Structure 1
Amino acid sequence: MIQIFNAFSLAFRNLFNFKILWILVWPLFVASILWLIIGEFFWIPSAEWLAEIIPFTIVKDWFDESDLLKITNSIGDVLNVIILVMLVIVTTMIITALFVMPSLIDFVAKRYYPLLDRKNGGSIIGSLFHVISAIIIFIALWSIALPFWFVGVGMLASFLAAAYLNQRLFSYDALSEHASKEELRILLRVDKLSLWGLGLLTGFVQFIPFLNLFAPTLTALAFIHFELARLENFRHKSNFNSSRK
């Protein structure tokens, strides 16, 4: 648990570095432009579709109680905004995983783990496999959860989906440059509970307004810190055990 919070706190501190701020901004900008363009064509149809599949009376009562109808003109608009924000965040995370991780890994490794050897056990195919599988399962979980969002259960399911996406999307890439193939296999197989714990913690940030804009880069940095620390400890233990033989 301490390692999880250490990784998260270091990642949060790194966000204020000028280089990291630029890395944070451009994936978010690209994802926002992409979904705003798509939303221009699908905004109304998606609202109508969602209104049909969600229990309308329950949703309407919930909105009346929270006075959210004063902010928006229709439930469909609110749902579209929620979906748009989540799509932007998830797309930013995917862009970060595919294109930004090497820069973030280099940033963290040089400052915190300069003596950690790079064994390049990961591969592009392995990275793509983790990204694609994470996206497919995340979309499936979100699709199931969406109709129940306004009755509480859906929000919990979406939170778990975000946790899964985080740990699946970033754990492999965080280790790929420094771990050997054998180290990758072992570290991704063990301590799953800690990976889920960090996934849940970073997933929680995705549901906090404004802070969720920082979530993709924060999540990537947190997993890099966490995984490189695990790798360093693993090698220390391995070397210690070898020296005792």
Structure 2
Amino acid sequence: MVEIFNALMRSLNNLQDRGIWLRLVGPAVVALVVWLALAFFALDWFVAELLEIPPLTWVAGWGALWLAKVLAWLGGWLAVFALAYLTAMLLAAIFVVPLLVNEIGAREYPDVARMGEDSFVAATGNSVLAAVGFIVGWIGTLPLWLIPGMGLVLPIYWLAWLNRRTFAYDALAAHATKEEWKALFEKHRGKLLLLGVLLGLLAHVPFVGLLAPAFGALAYVHYGLEALRRERDGAVLTLEKTQWERT
């Protein structure tokens, strides 16, 4: 929990920088404009399509057509929100993370050497695969939303998974070797997911939530670079201790 708290506090401290605000607002504005425009033209059609497929056809067949319509509209707006969030996240992962890594890494983690492969293609591929996994998982678990409470739990889980799957890798791609990345992920995977949960909760705040992807990118950069710094310092201490014991 200490690592998560430190990453969030450092990210909040960075908000004093106007340049950081521009990086946060950019993906949110683009995603919001695009998906509100699409919703204006296509939301009625999408809601009608939802009413024609299970489980909403089952609800209507039980005589609760009004409930089916409410669930269809709720599902439609949730889909708009999820796609807007996904768009903002892809924009943040592809365009914002490299800028943050260069800026934050040089200014606050100058002792963390860049030993990874700073590949735009690899980072973009990772983000696209994460987006596909998110969409498949989100749609695949829609029937479970009828279970009381699952409509709250599942969206948070999938956003947390998407945050971790996207930003945990992108934040360290330029600095960590493949071996370091695998070791750090295995060691911190639970905390990285918990950080994603907190950001997923933030994502559900109306309008402000669209800033969550870029803010999440910032938080994961801080978490990843600090974790890498500690891992390397620990490896150096272990090596020095081993050499001292041999002498």
TM range (shorter): 0.7 to 0.9
Matching of residues 153-192 of structure 1 within 5 Å: 153-192=150-189
TM-score norm. by structure 2 comes to 0.84
Distance 1:20-1:59 versus aligned 2 partners, 3 A rule: farther
For residue 193 of structure 2, the aligned residue among 179, 196, 205 is 196
C-alpha offsets along residues 93-140 of structure 1, whole Å, 9 cap, x if unaligned?
A: 111101111111123213321222111335334323421221122111
- In structure 2, what is the Cα distance between the partners aligned to 1:122 and 1:189? 21
Identify unmatched segments of 5+ residues in structure 2: none
Q: Which residue of 2 aligns with 1:7?
A: 7
Q: CA RMSD in A?
A: 2.5
| Structure with max Cα Rg | 2
Q: Which residue of 2 aligns with 1:66?
A: none
SS at match of 1:191: helix
Q: Which residue of 2 aligns with 1:34?
A: 34
Report the CA distance between 1:75 and its aligned residue: 5.9
Q: Which residue of 2 aligns with 1:133?
A: 129
Retained in 2: the 8 A contact 1:122–1:180? no
Identify unmatched segments of 5+ residues in structure 1: 64-73
- In structure 1, what is the Cα distance between the partners aligned to 2:132 and 2:178? 25
TM-score norm. by structure 1 comes to 0.85
Query: Aligned residue pairs: how many?
Result: 235
- In structure 2, what is the Cα distance between the partners aligned to 1:59 and 1:196? 38
Distance 1:17-1:62 versus aligned 2 partners, 3 A rule: farther
- In structure 2, what is the Cα distance between the partners aligned to 1:16 and 1:217? 15
Retained in 2: the 8 A contact 1:138–1:161? yes
Letter in 2 for 1:51: L
Residues 1:49 and 2:49 are matched in the alignment? yes
- In structure 1, what is the Cα distance between the partners aligned to 2:182 and 2:120? 16
Letter in 2 for 1:90: L
Letter in 2 for 1:133: L
Distance 1:31-1:236 versus aligned 2 partners, 3 A rule: same
- In structure 2, what is the Cα distance between the partners aligned to 1:62 and 1:80? 12
Distance 1:107-1:185 versus aligned 2 partners, 3 A rule: same
- In structure 2, what is the Cα distance between the partners aligned to 1:201 and 1:35? 24
